[in-house]
C-alpha cells in the first residue's frame, strides 16, 4: 500500500471572519426586533398583571416589614428613642418630645393609628396613649417627665419605652416573627410566645393538613372519573363533562349552603340514615372536619378532574393493549403503563387543588367547627377587623413562600412544567 500524502490543511477559501461577525450581528438585530414585537403583544397582559397582581402582592409583602405609624406621627420622640441604650429610663428630652408629640398626633388625628399599632405589642398601650394624650391636652406642661408620670405611672416602666423604641424601627422583623408565634423579648432575643397565644403555627399546620387531605380525597375521587371521561364514547363523555363543569357555573356560596342543607343533623343525609335505621343518633357531618373536607373536596373536584382528564385524553388506549399483549394482566398494565403516563396531570391537579385549598376561606367558615380555622380566615380577621395589615402581610408572605416551595418540590417530583393542557 502506498503511503498516502495528507491533504493540505489549508482550504481554498478561509472563513471570512469579518463577514461572519456582520452576519451574526444582523441575525441578532432581527432576533431582537422579533422579541421586541413579541413583548409588545404581551405588553397589555403584563401591564394588567403588574397592576392587578404583582403590585398588590408586592405591597402586601412590603407591609409585613414596614413600620411607618409611629415614626410618622412622632418623628422626634422616635429619633431620640433610637439613641436610648435601654439601661435606665430615657432622658428628659425623650419625655419632652413624647409629651409634645402625643398632643400633636392626637390633634392631627394620627394618634389612633399609633395606638392601634402599639396595641399589637401590648394590649395596654392603646388606652395608655389615648388617655395620656387626652389628659395632657388639658394640662399645661412644664416638666414633661413629671407630667407624664402624673398622667399615668406606667410611663416610668422601662418596658413601655422599649416597646415604643421597637415600634420606631423600620423595617421591622416583628410582624414576620409574630406570624410564626415568636417575638423579641425584653432581652432582645427571639422567643416563642406562650402557648395560649400561639395560634399561627397551629393554623398553618392545620391549613396544610386540611389541604393535603382535600388533595388526596380529590385525587381518589377524580382519577376514576377522569378515566371514564377520557375513555367513554364522545357522546357520553360530553354529557358527563357537563356534569363536571356545571358546578363551576354555580356560586360557591350556593354550593356550600347546599352542603349545609344536606349534612346538618336533621338534614337530608341524616334523615335517610336514621330513616333506614342505620344509625340511631344523627351522625355529626357538619361543623367539624368532616364537613370541611366534604365541602372543600366537592368544590375542588372539578379542578382535579379536568387536570387529569386533559392528560388522560392524550394517552392512546393502545398502550394498555400493548402491555397486555406483552403479558401484563389488566391491573398490572394499568399501574405499570397507564398510571405513570398520567403523573403530569396528577401532579398539576394536586398542585392546583393544594394551592387553592391553602387559601380557602368560605367553606371552612360555614361547614367547619371549632378548630377548623384555616390561615386565610385568620388573615381576614387581621385585615378586616383588626386592621393589622402588617401581620396580615406577614401571614400572607409565609403562605406565598410556602406555595413557592411546594411548587418547586412538586415540579421536581412530577414535572408540572411538562404538562400541556388540551
Partner 1 sequence: MTSSIHQKKEQPSSEPFISLTDISKSYDGKDYVVYDLNLAINKGEFVSLLGPSGSGKTTTLMMLAGFETPSQGEVRMGGKRLDKLPPYDRDIGMVFQNYALFPHMTIAQNVGFALTVRNVDRREIKARVKQALEMVELSHVANRRPAQLSGGQQQRVALARALVFEPALVLMDEPLGALDKRLREHMQYEIMRLHRELGLTTVYVTHDQSEALTMSDRVAVFFDGRIQQIAPARELYESPHNAFVANFVGENNGLDGRVSAIDQNTASLALAGGAVIRGGISQSLSVNTHGMLFLRPEQLRIAKGDENLGNRVSGVLEDIVYCGDHHRVRVHLGENDRLVCKLTNSWEHSLPAIGSKVDLTWRIEDCKVLPPLLASAQSSVSS
Partner 2 sequence: MKTMRNTHLLAGASVLATMFAAGSLRAETELSVVTYGGAFENAVQEAYFKPYTEANGTEFNFESYDGGLAKLAAMVQANNTTWDIIDLESNDAVAGCDEGLLEPLDESILGDTADFIPGAISDCAVASMIWSTVFAYDKEKLADGPTSISDFFDTAKFPGKRGLRKSPKGTLEWALLADGVSKDEVYEVLSSKEGVDRAFAKLDTIKKDITWWESGAQAPQLLADGAVVMTQAYNGRIHDAVKNDGSPFVTVWDGQIYDFEWWGVPAGAPNADEAFELIAYASSPEVVARLSKYISYAPPRKSALPLIDDEILSDLPTAEANFNNAVQIDVDFWVDNFDVINKRFQVWLAQAANS
Regarding 267 and contact with partner 2 (CB under 8 A), the answer is: yes
Long-range contacts of 80-83 (CB under 8 A, 24+ apart): 81/161, 81/164, 81/165, 81/168, 82/165, 82/168, 82/169
# chain residues binding partner 2, by CB under 8 A? 46
* 203 φ, ψ (degrees, to nearest 5): -65, -40
Asked whether 310 and 421 are in contact (CB, 8 A), the reply is yes
- Determine the interface stretch with partner 2 among 138-146, 243-251, 362-370, 393-401 (rule: CB under 8 A): 362-370
Q: Which of 147, 306, 337, 378 binds partner 2 (CB under 8 A)?
A: 378
Regarding 195 and contact with partner 2 (CB under 8 A), the answer is: yes
Regarding 369 and contact with partner 2 (CB under 8 A), the answer is: yes
Nearer to partner 1, 328 or 356 (CB): 328
Q: Which of 2, 280, 316, 384 binds partner 2 (CB under 8 A)?
A: 384
Nearer to partner 2, 287 or 351 (CB): 287
Nearer to partner 2, 301 or 374 (CB): 374
Q: Which of 104, 110, 152, 157 binds partner 2 (CB under 8 A)?
A: 110
Long-range contacts of 245-253 (CB under 8 A, 24+ apart): 245/302, 247/298, 247/299, 247/301, 247/302, 248/302, 252/299, 252/362, 252/363, 253/362
Q: Which of 154, 206, 255, 313 binds partner 2 (CB under 8 A)?
A: 206
**262 exposed, middle or buried (CB, 10 Å; 0-12, 13-18, 19+)?**
middle
- Please give the Cα distance from 147 to 170 (Å, whole number): 29
Nearer to partner 1, 293 or 337 (CB): 337
The residue ranges that bind partner 1 (CB under 8 A) are: 316, 318-319, 321-330, 332-333, 336-337, 340-341, 343
Asked whether 379 and 396 are in contact (CB, 8 A), the reply is yes
For 12, the grid coordinates are 481554498
337 binds, among partner 2, partner 1, none (CB under 5 to 8 A by kind): partner 1
Regarding 174 and contact with partner 2 (CB under 8 A), the answer is: no
Site for partner 2 in 11-70 (CB under 8 A): none
Neighbours of 419 (CB within 10 A): 18
| Min dist. Cβ of residue 205 to partner 1 (A) | 34
- Determine the interface stretch with partner 2 among 41-49, 125-133, 143-151, 298-306 (rule: CB under 8 A): 125-133
- Please give the Cα distance from 164 to 116 (Å, whole number): 12
Nearer to partner 1, 171 or 340 (CB): 340
- In 3D space, the residue among 89, 67, 70 whose CA is nearest the CA of residue 79 turns out to be 70
CA-to-CA dists, residue 230 to 204, 300, 350, 422, angstroms: 37, 19, 19, 12
Which DSSP symbol is given to 62?
H
Neighbours of 157 (CB within 10 A): 14
Can you give the length of the chain in residues? 422
| Min dist. Cβ of residue 29 to partner 1 (A) | 34
Site for partner 2 in 287-346 (CB under 8 A): 287-289
Q: Angle at the Cα of 292 (from 412 to 219), degrees rounded to 5?
A: 35
326 binds, among partner 2, partner 1, none (CB under 5 to 8 A by kind): partner 1
Task: Give residues in contact with partner 2 (CB under 8 A).
Answer: 108-113, 115-116, 119-120, 123-124, 126-127, 130, 195-199, 202-203, 206, 264-267, 286-289, 365-366, 369-373, 378, 381, 383-388
Amino acid at each position: 500500500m502506498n503511503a498516502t500524502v495528507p491533504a493540505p490543511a489549508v482550504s481554498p477559501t478561509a472563513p471570512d471572519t469579518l463577514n461572519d461577525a456582520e452576519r451574526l450581528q444582523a441575525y441578532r438585530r432581527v432576533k431582537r426586533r422579533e422579541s421586541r414585537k413579541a413583548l409588545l403583544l404581551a405588553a397589555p397582559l403584563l401591564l394588567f398583571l403588574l397592576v392587578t397582581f404583582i403590585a398588590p402582592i408586592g405591597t402586601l409583602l412590603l407591609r409585613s416589614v414596614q413600620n411607618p405609624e409611629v415614626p410618622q406621627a412622632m418623628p422626634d420622640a422616635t429619633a431620640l428613642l433610637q439613641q436610648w441604650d435601654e439601661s435606665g429610663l430615657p432622658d428628659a428630652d425623650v419625655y419632652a418630645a413624647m409629651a409634645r408629640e402625643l398632643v400633636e398626633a392626637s390633634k392631627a388625628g394620627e394618634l389612633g393609628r399609633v395606638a392601634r399599632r402599639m396595641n399589637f405589642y401590648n394590649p395596654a398601650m392603646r388606652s395608655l396613649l389615648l388617655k395620656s394624650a387626652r389628659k395632657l391636652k388639658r394640662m399645661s406642661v412644664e416638666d414633661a417627665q413629671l407630667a407624664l408620670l402624673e398622667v399615668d405611672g406606667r410611663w416610668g416602666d422601662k418596658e413601655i419605652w422599649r416597646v415604643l423604641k421597637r415600634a420606631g424601627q423600620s423595617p421591622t422583623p416583628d410582624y414576620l416573627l409574630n406570624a410564626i408565634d415568636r417575638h423579641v423579648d425584653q432581652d432582645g432575643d427571639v422567643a416563642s410566645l406562650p402557648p395560649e397565644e400561639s395560634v399561627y403555627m397551629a393554623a398553618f399546620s392545620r391549613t396544610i393538613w386540611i389541604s393535603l387531605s382535600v388533595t388526596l380525597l380529590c385525587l381518589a375521587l377524580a382519577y376514576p372519573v377522569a378515566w371514564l371521561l377520557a375513555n367513554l364514547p364522545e357522546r357520553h363523555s360530553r354529557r358527563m363533562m357537563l356534569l363536571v363543569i356545571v358546578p363551576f357555573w354555580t356560586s360557591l356560596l350556593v354550593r356550600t349552603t347546599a352542603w349545609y342543607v344536606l349534612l346538618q343533623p336533621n338534614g337530608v343525609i341524616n334523615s335517610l340514615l336514621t330513616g333506614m335505621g342505620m344509625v340511631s343518633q344523627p351522625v355529626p357531618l357538619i361543623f367539624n372536619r368532616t364537613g370541611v373536607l366534604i365541602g372543600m373536596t366537592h368544590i375542588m373536584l372539578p379542578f382535579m378532574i379536568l387536570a387529569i382528564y386533559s392528560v388522560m385524553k392524550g394517552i392512546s388506549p393502545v398502550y394498555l393493549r400493548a402491555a397486555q399483549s406483552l403479558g401484563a394482566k389488566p391491573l398490572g398494565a394499568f399501574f405499570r403503563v397507564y398510571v405513570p403516563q398520567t403523573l403530569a396531570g396528577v401532579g398539576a391537579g394536586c398542585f392546583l387543588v393544594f394551592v387553592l385549598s391553602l387559601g380557602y376561606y368560605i367553606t371552612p367558615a360555614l361547614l367547619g367547627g371549632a378548630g377548623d380555622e384555616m390561615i386565610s380566615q385568620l388573615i381576614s380577621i387581621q385585615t378586616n377587623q383588626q386592621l393589622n395589615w402588617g401581620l396580615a402581610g406577614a401571614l400572607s408572605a409565609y403562605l406565598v413562600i410556602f406555595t413557592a416551595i411546594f411548587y418547586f418540590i412538586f415540579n421536581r417530583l412530577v414535572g408540572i412544567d411538562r404538562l400541556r393542557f388540551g
